[in-house]
C-alpha cells in the first residue's frame, strides 16, 4: 500500500460513511479486510508515520483547547481523528491548527464534545490478526519513537492569541 493508497482508503471510507467518523472506522476495517495481510501492515506503517509527523506542539495546543485535556493519549486520539478527515484537511490543520474550526459543527459542541478516534489506532492490528490468525504482537512492524520539537504552551493568554478562532469557541 502506497501513501496515496492509504489516503484513498481513508477517503473512500469517509465517503461511504457520509463523513461520520464513528462509522468511518468500521468502513476502513471492511475495506482492509478485503486486502492482503501486507496491506494491513502497510496501513499501520503509514498511520504511525503520520502520527509521528503530527506530534507537534501547535497541534497539541489546539487539541487541549478543544478537548480540555493535556494528556498524551488524548492528543494521539485527536491526531487519529485528524487523519480520518483526509489528506488535504490533515495537511491544512497541521500547517494552521486554527483552521480546524471549519470542520467543527458548533451545534455539536457541549461539555461531552471531543475530537477523537482512538479506534483507528488499533484497526490495522486487528485486521492483520483476523487475516493471518497471528496476534498483533507478531505483526512485522517497528514502533516509531519520536520526540517533540519544543513544548506545548497551555497558558490561556498564549492560546487566546495564537488560536483566536478556537479560543472564541472553546476558550
Task: Check residue 137 and report its DSSP letter.
Answer: G
Structure confidence at residue 77 (pLDDT): 93
For position 49, what pLDDT does the model report? 94
Answer whether 78's CB lies under 8 Å from 116's CB. Answer: yes
Rounded Cα gap, residues 70 and 148, in angstroms: 14
Integer Cα distance of 63 and 152 in angstroms: 10
* CB half-sphere exposure, 124, CA atoms < 13 A: 22
Listed by start position, the domains of the chain span: 3-170
Q: Which three cell numbers stand for residue 88?
A: 488535504
* 106, pLDDT greater than 70: no
What was the pLDDT predicted at 37? 95
C-alpha cell at 43: 496501513
CA gap 45, 50 in Å, rounded:
9
Amino acid at each position: 500500500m502506497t501513501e496515496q493508497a492509504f489516503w484513498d482508503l481513508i477517503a473512500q471510507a469517509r465517503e461511504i460513511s457520509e463523513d461520520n467518523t464513528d462509522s468511518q472506522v468500521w468502513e476502513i476495517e471492511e475495506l482492509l479486510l478485503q486486502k492482503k495481510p501486507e496491506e494491513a501492515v502497510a496501513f499501520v506503517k503509514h498511520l504511525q508515520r503520520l502520527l509521528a509527523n503530527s506530534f507537534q506542539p501547535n497541534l497539541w495546543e489546539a487539541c487541549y483547547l478543544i478537548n480540555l485535556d493535556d494528556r498524551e493519549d488524548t492528543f494521539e486520539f485527536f491526531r487519529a481523528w485528524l487523519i480520518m478527515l483526509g489528506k488535504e484537511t490533515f495537511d491544512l490543520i497541521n500547517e494552521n491548527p486554527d483552521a480546524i474550526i471549519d470542520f467543527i459543527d458548533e451545534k455539536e459542541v457541549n461539555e461531552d464534545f471531543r475530537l477523537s478516534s482512538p479506534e483507528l489506532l488499533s484497526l490495522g492490528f486487528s485486521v492483520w490478526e483476523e487475516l493471518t490468525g497471528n496476534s498483533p504482537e507478531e505483526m512485522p512492524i517497528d514502533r516509531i519513537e519520536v520526540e517533540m520539537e519544543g513544548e506545548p504552551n497551555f497558558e490561556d493568554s498564549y492560546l487566546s492569541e495564537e488560536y483566536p478562532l478556537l479560543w472564541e469557541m472553546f476558550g
